[in-house]
Amino acid sequence: MARARHQADAAVAALPEGYAGTGAFSIHLTADGPPYVATSLLLSGDADGAAAATGRVLCTAAPGPSRARALLILALAEAGRGRADEAAAAGTAALTGVPPAWATMALARRLDQVLADSFAGAGEVSSYRALYRDEVQRASTPSLPPGGPDGR
């Protein structure tokens, strides 16, 4: 991972000055360098590093799906650190106030599994799991047209 991060840093440094990547191939640079540093740290087992990197990302993340995903990465890192209540609180913040996108719900499902497997009886865990189930139910329930089932 260290080698890949170094290569990514070099590739980002080689971009033209003022690069404003937009669209499907855009990148969002943070103080931590290239994207996915926190995710990579989490996947490599460095929950402390992932929590620290995600905390720095959250300092500048605007509300919306990207912030929700960052909060869920933080939640998974906190769970990896054995901090169930902090994990549940970050997960709850991620699912509150923003209609969750597919990627957000995939991370939310993973957090739900981790919390159920490792912290089923912890304080805030049941609240997060109930909110997660509500979001899944809301996403799977077709919405009615304005005015009722017949559209009037």
- At 80-117, the pLDDT tens digits run 999 999 999 999 999 997 787 888 899 999 999 999 99
Q: Tell me the β-bridge partners of 30.
A: 33
pLDDT score at 132: 95
| 45 phi-psi bin (left φ>0, alpha ψ -120 to 50, beta other) | left
**Distance of alpha carbon 109 from alpha carbon 102, whole angstroms:** 10
CB 65 within 8 A of CB 28: no
Write out the chain's pLDDT in tens, 152 residues. 677 767 767 766 676 665 555 544 455 555 555 557 788 888 888 899 889 888 888 888 888 888 899 999 999 999 999 999 999 999 999 999 778 788 889 999 999 999 999 998 888 899 999 999 999 998 887 765 555 455 44
Assigned token pair, 122: 């912890």
Q: Which long-range contacts (CB under 8 A, 24 or more apart) does 31-37 make?
A: 31/56, 32/56, 32/57, 33/5, 33/8, 33/9, 34/5, 34/8, 34/9, 37/5
- CA-wise closest residue to 35 among 69, 64, 81, 63: 69
pTM of the complete model beyond 0.85: no
Environment class of 25 (CB within 10 Å of its CB; exposed 0-12, middle 13-18, buried 19+):
exposed
